[in-house]
Amino acid sequence: MSAESRETAEDGERPDIEKAVGHAVRAFRQERGISITDLASSAGVSVAMLSRVESGRVAASLRTLQAIATALRVPVASLLKDVEEKSDATFLPPGGGLEVVRQALRGTYIYRLLGHTTTTDVVLEPYINVFPSTDGSFKRTQYDGVKFLYMLEGEITYQHGDTIYTMTPGATLFFGAQIMHGPERILKAPATLLSVQAYLRNPKRNQNK
């Protein structure tokens, strides 16, 4: 398979970086009054390939981008000038976060979501669990992912599968979340637990990679 064939193998929705590069290529070409056929010929790529680059439907190799930049007589970095790397950043003041009060089988507890990733294949969610009293009976849960716990105050027992762990301030627990898990008993209240869970945003898509 040729380099160009590999570059055109993936179609459909492309991330913003391909769209930004394509926009820059088209803008430079039109600014110079060059037809797409002439630019493709000068760069040594097919018209179809160049069209896909300009429309942001293909992730062109660095070699291809260099050839296009040379034909346009611009630095290859000029094709990347509008690319802005997106990243998740969430700042919360003390006590901030999305707070939800949930009913347990018996009693109530509070969880406060501290953030949520939106730009990666892996979803990462940190949150605070607050158990205000020793009264409570809790449902177990499970999902495909992992979870990390850090005990901040109070004392609880936490069940993962058939194993029960006693969590006191400073204790940590890291486990596969596909096993049934959850708080078992609140031994000392108020109890506060930092929890971070991670899972694939789109498991089926990632399994096909």
Question: Which pLDDT tens digit goes with each residue over 1-25?
Answer: 444 444 443 444 445 678 888 988 9
Whether 85 is covered by a domain: the verdict is no
Residue-number span of the structural domain to which 191 is assigned: 98-207
Select from 80, 109, 133 the last residue of a domain. 80
Q: Are residues 196 and 166 in the same domain?
A: yes
Q: Are residues 28 and 122 in the same domain?
A: no
Select from 26, 46, 80 the last residue of a domain. 80
pLDDT tens per residue, range 114-155 = 887 766 778 888 999 999 998 878 889 999 999 999 999 999
Q: Are residues 106 and 54 in the same domain?
A: no
Whether 102 is covered by a domain: the verdict is yes
Radius of gyration of the chain (CA): 26
Domain count, the chain: 2
Whether 176 is covered by a domain: the verdict is yes
CB of 99 within 8 A of CB of 110? yes
Q: Are residues 135 and 174 in the same domain?
A: yes
Q: What angle do CA 132, 137, 140 make, to 5 degrees?
A: 110
d(CA 206, CA 83): 25
Q: Where are the beta strands (DSSP E) in 11-143?
A: 98-103, 108-113, 122-131
The residue among 83 and 115 whose pLDDT is bigger is: 115
Q: Are residues 70 and 148 in the same domain?
A: no
Q: Are residues 132 and 185 in the same domain?
A: yes
* pLDDT at residue number 62: 77
* pLDDT at residue number 3: 42
Whether 89 is covered by a domain: the verdict is no
What is the share, in percent, of the chain residues with pLDDT greater than 90? 47
* pLDDT at residue number 175: 98
* pLDDT at residue number 112: 87
Whether 181 is covered by a domain: the verdict is yes
Q: Are residues 71 and 152 in the same domain?
A: no
Q: Are residues 169 and 195 in the same domain?
A: yes
d(CA 58, CA 51): 9
